Structure 1
Amino acid sequence: MSRVGTGQSEEPAVVDAVRAGDEAAFAELTERHRRELHVHCYRMLGSFDDAEDLVQETFLRAWRRRETFQGRSTFRAWLYRIATNACLDFVERHPRRPRGALTTTPAPAGPASAAAFPQVEIPWLQPYPDRLLEPVASPDAEPDTAVIAKETIELAFLAAIQHLPPKQRAVLILRDVLGWPANDTAALLNGTVPAVNSALQRARLTLKQHLPQRRSEWAAVTDPSEEERAVLQRYVRATENADLAGLAELLREDARFTMPPKPTWYVGRATIIETWTPVLVGPNAWRDWRHVLTRANRQPAVACYVRPEGADRYHALGLDVLRIEDGAVAEITAFQPEVFPAFGLPLTV
């Protein structure tokens, strides 16, 4: 469990520089915490783009209120308080809730169009590039492995906590992810310790309802295994070769395929393959593919490009984020090309 240093005093010189309005000192202090605050806002909001905006809002609020920083807690903890409240203000101004059924129903028989059915829709959910997770820990803090632990950054967790009311979400993140004490959490939220403990219990129960049933069995390692890399390479080759049989071999029988922000889920190997068939081998299929391997939310991902007939460049089609279990693909979440810039990926190659 990570600790954000809520009780550790800041150096007097730092306090004086910040409160005196030393812009250079303030910028240096805030920038060293930018990435971890971005991850925090991302958990709160589920959106990479919104998190970018809220970090900027956090720094702006901090600068305007710099005289309120007394140094009784760390500058880092002070920023976390501002960021959390900025996120809560954001969701109050822009209320949004997941829509659709909670439980997956069996895929109906029939053509692929009939096998698509509404599930939980979180249209604002975006992936987080792993390359931006590496420098998260701030230099003046203990190693923050919990801040970027796989189980609290993976898409399943991010989707599940979007079901929580905003303050319950904040309590869960502060207490269970960041390791804030109950009294500090209560002070941040202008509440009481009993209220925080009650909110945490309710949040944990709701979270359990919305997480996949077998989630506790997933591997907790953050580095890709040889098996995972091999599956990813086979996935790419099968797609480029329009090998539907090869893709079917890679998918679990109960695999799921989703495409945020579309409120449509495809469940089951046969359903997914039937859905992909027109894209790979139909008369209007994409014939020329190119892929770039990457990682998102501590999961393997593939950036997909296609070259239309007669074109001289490949165009971004989407980013597939995979969850691999026991050498098979259990889930694929396909995001729109709008997420490519965050991954440092071009829209054409």
Structure 2
Amino acid sequence: MTDPRPLGADEAAFLAAVRSGDPARFARITERHRRELRVHCYRMLANYEDAQDLTQETFLRAWHKRESFKGHAALRTWLYRIATNACLDFLDKRNDRTPVPTGLPGPDSEVLYLQPYPDRMLPEDPQESVVARETIELAFIVAVQHLPPRQRAVFILRDVLGWPAPKAADALDLTAASVTSALQRARATMREQLPDRRLDWRRPATHELSNDERDVVQAYMDAHKRNDLAGLTSLLRDDLRFAMLPERGTSSATAKDAVDGWVSGGLFQPGHDDWRCTTTTVNRMPAAVLYLRTPEAPEHRLFAIAVLHVVDGKIAELTGFDATDKPWLGVPPTL
């Protein structure tokens, strides 16, 4: 696997670490790539905890394969190759890592293993294509899961990371022609899966929340604190899509039907109407962290994270995640 570039300082330092046989020195050099490799694994797997595990597996494989690195490719390229193939091996062994039917009319399906990606764990360089908002939002991650694993890898390497076809082919032990064919099929599937309102994933990256998004997430939290069901209803589009993961049951509903469903499930009723909220961002999207205090509890306990997709000042998609027992989200368990 080669890149048309001279040996860089990173590669020279890595080769010296390999010759030394010092695992601590090896770890210091490879560690700087951890965050971007974890994002890469997350795009492949849609699950933050799996991505953590596979990133660690990448470093273990890299240590065992260290003698195979000759400096003909960038260290980063070599590590991405290992990470991609580690994810493909993982997917080969798991039959629970494919979307399942929603029960809704049409071809919709759910990704029950989807987890949010905390923005605080993204790579720090905002210019990196690896953190482009259009390629980390939940809808994009879900769409990628509809690709067969090898198509998925081709699509991410080519269209997200911008690798040329020969480089992607080398990483996956494929021909350039087969990579080009797989990419064409993957692009067709992605355009079917992504709603029309989504930006093209190959446009220049954006990172910041809009004023609309900030205003809507604040209004959403305020409505919870006041138990203002009319206010909450007014924030939702009538073609709202709602899911509470990892439970099965994505629904499309009018705003009124959605709120009525939450109320019939016990929320906003006496004993389940004392809310506190904070904001966060996951997957470069606005999110409300919801805390609920029940009569027997002395404090507000973490209830869920609601990730909002805002269109024209309204919530078009609301994805709720069980936030308990997930310290990597970086939110306190109580308020």
Matched, 1:191 2:174: yes
Change (3 A) 1:323 1:13: closer
Matched, 1:336 2:322: yes
Pairing 1:1-349 to 2, within 5 Å after superposition: 6-8=3-5, 9-11=7-9, 12-95=12-95, 96-101=97-102, 105=105, 119-135=108-124, 137=125, 144-216=127-199, 221-267=206-252, 268-278=254-264, 279-282=266-269, 286-338=272-324, 340-349=326-335
Q: CA deviation at 1:195?
A: 0.4
Q: CA deviation at 1:144?
A: 4.3
Q: CA deviation at 1:230?
A: 1.6
Q: Name whichever of 66-75 and 118-127 sits farther off.
A: 118-127
Other-structure match for 1:113: none
Which ranges in structure 2 are unaligned for 5 or more consecutive residues?
Answer: none
CA deviations on 1:60-100 (whole Å, 9 max, x unpaired) are 01011110010011111111110001000000111321110
Q: Cα RMSD over matched residues?
A: 2.3
CA deviations on 1:34-68 (whole Å, 9 max, x unpaired) are 00000000001000000000011000010111100
Q: TM-score, length-normalised on structure 2?
A: 0.91
Number of aligned residue pairs: 326
CA contact (8 A) 1:228 1:327 kept: yes
Q: What is the alpha-carbon distance in structure 2 between the residues aligned to residue 72 and residue 173 of structure 1?
A: 23
CA deviations on 1:119-162 (whole Å, 9 max, x unpaired) are 51211100001111242x4xxxxx74321111100000100111
Q: TM-score, length-normalised on structure 1?
A: 0.87
Q: What is the alpha-carbon distance in structure 2 between the residues aligned to residue 312 and residue 119 of structure 1?
A: 42
Relative contact order higher in (CA < 8 Å, ≥ 6 apart) = 1
Q: What is the alpha-carbon distance in structure 2 between the residues aligned to residue 13 and residue 119 of structure 1?
A: 49
Q: Name whichever of 227-236 and 19-28 sits farther off.
A: 19-28
Q: CA deviation at 1:329?
A: 1.0
Change (3 A) 1:41 1:339: farther
Change (3 A) 1:100 1:339: farther
User: How many percent of aligned residue pairs carry the same amino acid?
Assistant: 49
Q: What is the alpha-carbon distance in structure 2 between the residues aligned to residue 209 and residue 182 of structure 1?
A: 23
CA contact (8 A) 1:19 1:66 kept: no
Q: CA deviation at 1:258?
A: 0.8
Q: What is the alpha-carbon distance in structure 2 between the residues aligned to residue 13 and residue 56 of structure 1?
A: 21
